Amino acid sequence: MKTTATIAGLFCLAATAAAANDYAPAMQSYLDENVSAWMNDPVLVEAIKAQNDAHSGLDAAKIEELDQAWRAEVGGSDTPTITPVLENAAADFLRAKVAEGGGAITEIFVMDNHGLNVAASDVTSDYWQGDEAKFQKTYPMGAGTVFIDEVEFDESTQTFQGQVSVTIVDPASGEAIGAMTLGLNAEALM
């Protein structure tokens, strides 16, 4: 009896894992067909490189301080940490890509080599992504790396979305310089 219950539990766990991965092929296909052509666009590359230079001396304490400032500003009217990330040429480029996505893309943000936001289509809940899989499973792994996360309900976009994250490279050198995460509307992909 105990063995039957254990086996049934394992089947349920396997079915849940399979269902969670059902969207991965569609998300990879969307990336290949719609994003790969522009993900290393000069406007993104230059913004990331500029922030990498500006943040070259940051230590963990300063990164934490910046992240806390961002979190405190979310939803507020005074946003000196958030505003530069939302109001730049790269952010305008990302918002245009969200609009061109016709509802398939819910959000896009680009990170520097520390995992700090460089540009975003919309406000993210935090500034530092460096402690999350979207950054840890892309940028440190180098050029060509893609990380597809599970589909979940996203409070900020009010949709079931999966995040696809990629390493951004400098086309001139081929070196990894940062990462980008796209929120993809799961319902729009199927």
Does residue 16 fall inside a structural domain?
no
Does residue 10 fall inside a structural domain?
no
Number of domains the chain is built from: 1
- pLDDT tens by residue, 91-123: 999 999 999 999 999 999 999 999 999 999 999
Does residue 4 fall inside a structural domain?
no
Domain containing 98 — which CATH number? 3.30.450.20
Does residue 102 fall inside a structural domain?
yes
SS3 1: coil
Does residue 106 fall inside a structural domain?
yes
Does residue 44 fall inside a structural domain?
yes
What residues make up the domain containing 92?
22-189
CA distance 24 to 27: 5
Does residue 152 fall inside a structural domain?
yes
Element (H, E) at 70: helix 60-73
Mean pLDDT calculated for residue range 53-78 = 95
Give how far Cα 89 sits from Cα of 26, 41, 95, 96, Å: 29, 12, 10, 11
Does residue 108 fall inside a structural domain?
yes
CA dihedral (77, 83, 85, 86) positive or negative: positive
What average pLDDT does the structure give for the chain?
Answer: 88
pLDDT of 21:
65
Please check the confidence at residue 70 and state whether its pLDDT lies above 90.
yes
